[in-house]
Structure 1
Amino acid sequence: MNRVDQASRRKVLAALAGLGVLSGLGPAAWAAGGEGKFAVGFIYLGAANDLGYNQAHAAGAHAVAALSDVEIHELYSVPEGKETSAAIKILAGQKNCRIIFATSYGYFNPYVLEAARQYPDVVFLHAGAVYRQGIYPENVGTYFAYTDEAQFISGLVAGLMSASGRMGFIAAKPIPQVLRNINAFMLGARRANPQAEMVLQFTGDWSNPQKEMTAFKVLADKKVDVISCHIDSPMKLAALCEAQGIHFCGYHFDQSSMAPKFLLTGAEFDWTHLYPDYVKRIRSRKDWPRAVRAGFAGGLLRNTPYGPLVPVAVRTEADRVREMIKSGKMFVFSGPVKDNTGKLQITAGQKFASTAQELEKMYWLAEGIIGNLPR
C-alpha cells in the first residue's frame, strides 16, 4: 500500500490544525488513489503497528485495500473526543470516503451518531457498540467478535500450564465486553484447575503504558506464573513476561515476536474477511447487516498459534474444546457459575450462548478472581 507524499500529508496536517485538534491526531496515511476509486476510511485510537487492537483492524483495512478500484484512508492515534469528529470531517468531507470504520469503543456516542446524521450518504461502521434497531440512523452499523470464546481457550491453556495455579490479568475498563473476556479466561483456567486463582488489575485506560507497567509489577510481586490482558497494545507486556520468564497469553493480535519462548497462545480478532465483505456489499448497493456479532463459527476470531513450551497433550485438549465451542456443543458461560463474592450468577443447567443479551450486561467477576469492580 502506498503512503501519501509529503505535500499531501502537509495538507492533511494543515486541515487538522485548522480544526484545533492537531496535537491529538497521529499521522495520516492512505493508499494512492485514482479518479473513480471508491474511498474507505479507518480511524484508530493508536498506532497501526501496535501488535494489538489497532493492528488487528489495520490488517482488515489492508484486506480492503487489496480490492479492485478501492483506496483506503487511515487516521491513527485519534483520541475518543472532539478529535473523533475532526477525523470524520477529514475522511467524509475532504477525502470523500463512502464508508468509515470507527474502531474504538468511545467513538460511537455521540461522535459517530452525530456524524451519521450530518453525512447521510456515508456508511459508518463501529466496532463494539450494540446496535439498536429503530434508534440509530440507517447508515450506521455495528460489529464485534465474541473474543471471550478464544479467551476461554487461552485460560484453559493457562490453567493446564500454570505450576502454581496463580495467574494475573491486566484490564483496561470494566465494561461488559472486557468483563466477558476476564471471566471467560478464569472459567477456562478453572476447567483445567478448579483451584486456580487470578489477580486482576484495572488500569482505567485502553492504552496507558505507565499504568500497565505498574500493574505488571503488582502481578510479578504476587508470584503469578501466567499473565493475560485486555489492553490495546500488549507488546510491552509480552516483552516483560518474556524477560522475566512468565508465561503470557496474548490478546487482539499475535505477540509471539515479543515473547517467542513464553507466549502460550492468545485471543485474536480477524477482520480480514468481514471488512472486504462490508465494502463489496455496500459499494454494489446490496443489503448489508446493521449488526454483526460472531465467534469461532463466524470466522471473526482465532487463537494465536501455540508457543514452543505448550506440550502436545495441552494442544490436543485445547483444540478439542475449541471445536466444541465452534460447533455449539459447548458454551463458555454455563452454570453453575458463582462470582467472587460467592453469589450464584448462572444457575445449574443454565447456558448462555455467546449471542445472549444477558452477557452484554455483565458486571461481575467470576469465582477465583482476586480483585474488585468499581462501584
Structure 2
Amino acid sequence: MKFMKTIATAALALAVAMPAAAETTKVGFVYVGTPGDGGWTYEHDQGRKAVEAEFGDKVETTYVENVAEGPDAERVLTQMALSGHDLIFTTSFGFMDQTNNVAAKFPDIKFEHATGYKREHPNVSTYGARFYEGRAVIGTIAGRMTKSNKIGYIASFPIPEVIRGINSAYIHAKKVNPEAEMKVVWVFSWFDPAKEADAAAALIEQGVDVIMQHTDSTAPMAKAAETEGVIAFGQASDMGQYADGPRVSSIIDNWAPYYIERTKAVMDGTWEQVDTWGGIDSGMVEIGDFTDKLPQPVKDEATALANAIADGSYHPFTGPLNKQDGTPWLAEGETAGDGDLLGMSFYVEGIEGDLPQ
C-alpha cells in the first residue's frame, strides 16, 4: 500500500511539473477564387501562409476555395464554425451578409470580413485597403505612357470600391495627359478568366494601349501580351511573370501583417471589433517594382505621388472635381471624406459610358 502511495505521489508531482499542452488557435479562410488565380486570392493565401510562418505549431490554418457569394458561403461558414475554428476570415465583398448571419449563431468565434461595412455583431470586424491610392499612382503612369490616349479598365461589379478605383485612375491619368480617355468594360465577375480575356481583347480592338483591371485573374495580362505596344498592371499581386512583357508595375494587396496582428489578438485575448481601412502609408497597399519600359521621369513622378499619399500631403480625391453629369462635387482644394468615398456611386466628369445600376 505504501508502495502504491509512492507511485501516486510521484505521478502527481510529474503531472504538476509537466507544462500543459499548448492550445492551438484554429484560423479559417474563405476564398471566392483559388490561390492559383495569381491575383486577389493568391495574396490572401500568402497572408495565411504568413500566419503559419509567424506562429508555427501554435496555429492551424484551413481554407475553402471557390466559394460562391450567396447561400453557399453561409453553408461553408457554418461548417467552419462547427469544426472548431477560433477565427474566420471571409475574403470577398459578397460574403458580407453571410458572415454576419453565421456570426450571430456563434458569438464565441471571431469573424473578419474583407472589404465590407456591416458589423452587426460584436464578434465581427471589417477590413479593407484603400486601393484607390494605388490606382492614382498607376493612373499617372497610364496617362504618361499611352500613345493612343485610350486607357481601358476591366471592372468587376459596380460597387463603391470598384467605382472609386476607376475614378481615381481616370483623374490622375487626365491630370498628366488632358487628352486621355477611359473606356470601361464590366464583366460582373471577380474571377472569370475567359470573360476577362474577352474584355481585354474588346478594349484592344477599340485602340486601347493601356489596360487596368479590378478583376482577379492574370487573363487580361496574358491578352495584353499578345499585342505589341500594349502595357498593363498587376492587380492585387505583382504578376511579375509578365514583367518581361506588358507589365510595367502593379498594385499589391499585402494582407499578411493584418492577418498576423488579428490572429495574435485572438491568441492573447485582446481581439476587439474594429474597422480597418489601410493604404499606402500602412503598407496594406504596395506599388510593385517599375520595369525598364517606364522612363525614369515617369518612375520618379509615380514614386513622388505614392510618397505624398503615404505622408498625407496629398489626397487622391482633391477638388475641383465634378460628377459625370457636370454637377459640382468637390470645390477647389476640398478633399473627399471617407463617408463619401465609401458610398461612391457615380463616375467623375469625363468618363465615357453609363454606370450600371
TM value normalised by structure 1: 0.86
Deviations 1:244-282 (A, max 9, x none): 131102211111213532212121210111100000012
Secondary structure at 1:297's aligned position in 2?
coil
Secondary structure at 1:374's aligned position in 2?
coil
Structure 2: which amino acid aligns with 1:73? T
Partner of 1:169: 153
Secondary structure at 1:341's aligned position in 2?
coil
1:322 aligns with 2:311: no
Pick from 56, 59, 74: which aligns with 1:85? 74
1:131 CA drift (Å)? 4.5
Deviations 1:80-126 (A, max 9, x none): 122212211232212x11000000111111x1111101111110000
Whether the 8 Å contact between 1:238 and 1:263 is mirrored in structure 2 is yes
Whether the 8 Å contact between 2:124 and 2:273 is mirrored in structure 1 is no
1:35 CA drift (Å)? 7.6
Secondary structure at 1:143's aligned position in 2?
strand
Secondary structure at 1:79's aligned position in 2?
coil
Partner of 2:214: 230
Partner of 1:244: 227
What is the alpha-carbon distance in structure 2 between the residues aligned to residue 307 and residue 155 of structure 1?
16
Whether the 8 Å contact between 1:261 and 1:307 is mirrored in structure 2 is no
1:313 CA drift (Å)? 1.1
Q: Which of 208-217 and 220-229 deviates more? A: 208-217
Whether the 8 Å contact between 2:40 and 2:216 is mirrored in structure 1 is yes
What is the alpha-carbon distance in structure 2 between the residues aligned to residue 258 and residue 264 of structure 1?
9
Deviations 1:45-88 (A, max 9, x none): 11012111111111111111111311100111011122212211
What is the alpha-carbon distance in structure 2 between the residues aligned to residue 72 and residue 112 of structure 1?
18
Partner of 1:116: 103
CA RMSD of aligned residues (A): 1.6
Partner of 2:286: 302
Partner of 1:99: 87
Deviations 1:269-307 (A, max 9, x none): 101111000000121001435211111112211011112
Whether the 8 Å contact between 2:201 and 2:223 is mirrored in structure 1 is no
- Which structure 2 residues correspond to residues 112-261 of structure 1 after superposition, within 5 A? 112-132=99-119, 136-233=120-217, 235-245=218-228, 246-261=230-245
What is the alpha-carbon distance in structure 1 between the residues aligned to residue 102 and residue 209 of structure 2?
46
Structure 2: which amino acid aligns with 1:352? A
CA 267–311 in structure 1, closer or farther in 2 if over 3 Å, else same: same
Partner of 1:370: 352
Deviations 1:163-193 (A, max 9, x none): 1221100101111000001111111211211
Partner of 1:58: 45
1:139 CA drift (Å)? 0.4
Larger Rg: 2
1:37 aligns with 2:20: no
Runs of at least 5 residues in structure 1 that lack an aligned partner in the other structure: 1-33
Whether the 8 Å contact between 1:242 and 1:259 is mirrored in structure 2 is no
What is the alpha-carbon distance in structure 2 between the residues aligned to residue 367 and residue 59 of structure 1?
38
Whether the 8 Å contact between 1:261 and 1:309 is mirrored in structure 2 is no
CA 131–83 in structure 1, closer or farther in 2 if over 3 Å, else same: closer
Q: Which of 216-225 and 174-183 deviates more? A: 216-225
Deviations 1:213-262 (A, max 9, x none): 332222111111100010122x1111111121311022111112135322
Deviations 1:185-207 (A, max 9, x none): 11121121122111111111112
Whether the 8 Å contact between 1:41 and 1:72 is mirrored in structure 2 is yes
What is the alpha-carbon distance in structure 2 between the residues aligned to residue 310 and residue 103 of structure 1?
33
1:157 CA drift (Å)? 0.8
Structure 1 moving runs of 4+ over 6 Å: none
Structure 2: which amino acid aligns with 1:368? G
Partner of 1:269: 253
Partner of 2:5: none
Secondary structure at 2:37's aligned position in 1?
coil
